[in-house]
């Protein structure tokens, strides 16, 4: 027998948790994940501290839930749209396009959630840092795997090390994200797109295809 009362309470609890986490990840992108506390989130979300404590139990559990919520938002914004493209160069182009747009469109108000979180926890061992590392490794691995398919298809014939390519892509993105936020300017995003285009051409991509990364959304529509 279905207990509608229990199901209703569970649904309300899940909805409340999602709402609080939406505030948590946005706030963490601005103020830092280490500043995330039950009291701070209760104030930002306009709910009681006891409600937040009931949902998450501790500051660390709240931080871990925020990392997972941020990961899910990143997947939905960057990786899932790119997966509409076939494996190989077109998916690589789509990933690079969405990667730049992710910061430029302020999917998180403070730019890249994971850049801020990594800065907070790079020297603080524990479960939260492990969760951040796992999310970043997942992203780096996906870029490398996508580039590897391009190499196998003969679309990136001069790319010898897809993992190195992923490392360079992420390093460029980190600098782009920081500089764009510091200067409140779109110029770093334009330069990042140019740099990605040139790196792909150097790896043997057809110039006309690599040019798609210049125009936001073109790689997804192409």
- Give domain limits for the chain: 63-221
Provide the whole-model pTM.
0.91
Tell me which of 1.10.530.10, 1.10.357.10, 3.20.190.10, 1.10.3470.10 is the CATH number of domain 63-221. Answer: 1.10.357.10
For the cut 70, the answer to whether the pLDDT of residue 47 exceeds it is yes
Decide: 166 and 199 in contact? Cβ < 8 Å: no
Please tell me the least confidently modeled range out of 8-17, 30-39, 59-68, 117-126.
8-17
Tell me, what's the pLDDT at 5?
61
Q: What is the DSSP letter of 78?
A: I
Please tell me the least confidently modeled range out of 36-45, 97-106, 197-206.
36-45
Give one word for 48, left, alpha or beta, with left for phi > 0 and alpha for psi -120 to 50. Answer: beta
Closest C-alpha to 128, from 45, 59, 76, 37: 59
Computed from CA positions of residues 49, 52, 57, 59, in that sequence, does the dihedral angle turn out positive or negative? negative
């Amino acid at each position: 027998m279905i207990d509608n009362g229990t199901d209703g309470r569970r649904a309300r609890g899940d909805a409340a948790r999602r709402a609080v986490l939406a505030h948590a990840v946005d706030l963490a992108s601005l103020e830092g994940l280490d500043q995330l506390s039950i009291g701070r989130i209760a104030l930002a979300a306009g709910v009681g501290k006891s409600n937040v404590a009931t949902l998450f139990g501790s500051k660390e559990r709240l931080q871990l839930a925020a990392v997972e919520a941020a990961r899910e938002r990143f997947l939905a914004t960057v990786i899932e749209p790119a997966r509409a493209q076939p494996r190989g160069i077109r998916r690589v182009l789509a990933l690079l396009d969405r990667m730049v747009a992710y910061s430029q469109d302020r999917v998180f108000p403070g730019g890249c959630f994971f850049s801020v979180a990594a800065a907070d926890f790079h020297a603080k061992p524990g479960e939260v840092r492990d969760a951040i590392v796992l999310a970043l490794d997942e992203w780096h691995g996906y870029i490398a795997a996508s580039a590897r398919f391009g190499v196998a298809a003969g679309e990136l014939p001069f790319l010898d090390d897809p993992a190195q390519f992923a490392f360079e892509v992420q390093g460029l993105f980190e600098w782009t994200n920081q500089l764009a936020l510091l200067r409140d300017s779109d110029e770093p995003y334009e330069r990042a797109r140019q740099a990605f285009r040139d790196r792909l051409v150097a790896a043997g991509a057809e110039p006309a295809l690599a040019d798609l990364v210049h125009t936001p959304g073109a790689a997804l529509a192409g």
